[in-house]
Amino acid sequence: MGKSASGKDRIYSELTGRKELNLEKLVLYTTRPIRSGEENGREYFFVDGKKLEEIKEKKCLIESREYHTVHGIWTYFTADEGQINVKDFDYLGIGTLESFRKLKDYYGKDKVCAIYVEVEDGERLTRALQREKMQKNPGYAELCRRFLADQEDFSEENIKKAGIEKRFENIELNECVEEIIKYIKSIQ
């Protein structure tokens, strides 16, 4: 986890591609529109509000967050529809501090650990702007909303409340990935 444009997706891709870690992908759900280059079931399960309600009715919802974006309300959530087996497999997923806390409550503190990625704010903003420019219809207002919301969501107080002790600074991607790999191996 980490603020937007901290490199979470790239790091996630690198880590899940490493066979020696033997990590399954914990794919989250979202009601937001799919972005250029994304694939349903790879980055997220892209669903509509009706599917979200079905999951709630089946009592499979672990956690959810709503974001009031410039494009409307987008919900991101984790659901257990039988695809998650923490007894036999280790998973890697992308989430927020709140989703981390709720996953710990659901699966148990001994089954969930944090990998928190940081990047200096100016660099994050530059990366976010470069990524947004590549979209067919850039959403600069949403980029700004996310950037400002992250300042509050990932405040030092919230990081501490979530129990985050170890942080990984993503200045150089390969070095950051190698440091995270060493950490994962030490806790497996």
Q: What are phi and psi of 150, to 5 degrees?
A: -65, -30
Q: What is the pLDDT of residues 22-31, one digit of tens each?
A: 999 999 999 9
Give the whole-angstrom CA distance, residue 132 versus residue 71.
15
* Tokens linked to 19: 């066979």
Cα 112 from Cα 109, distance rounded (Å): 6
- In this predicted structure, the answer to whether residue 45 has a pLDDT above a threshold of 90 is yes
The pLDDT of residue 185: 95
Residue 70's pLDDT is: 84
Q: What one-letter code names the amino acid at 64?
A: S
Reported as a single tens digit per residue, the pLDDT across 118-136 is 999 999 999 999 999 999 8
- SS3 state at 44: strand
Average pLDDT over residues 12-33: 94
Q: What is the pLDDT of residues 153-164, one digit of tens each?
A: 999 999 999 999
Beta-carbon contacts of residue 108 (< 8 Å; ≥ 6 apart):
none
Encode burial over 123-148: b for 16+ CB neighbours within 10 A, e otherwise: ebbebbeebbeeeeeebeebbebbbe
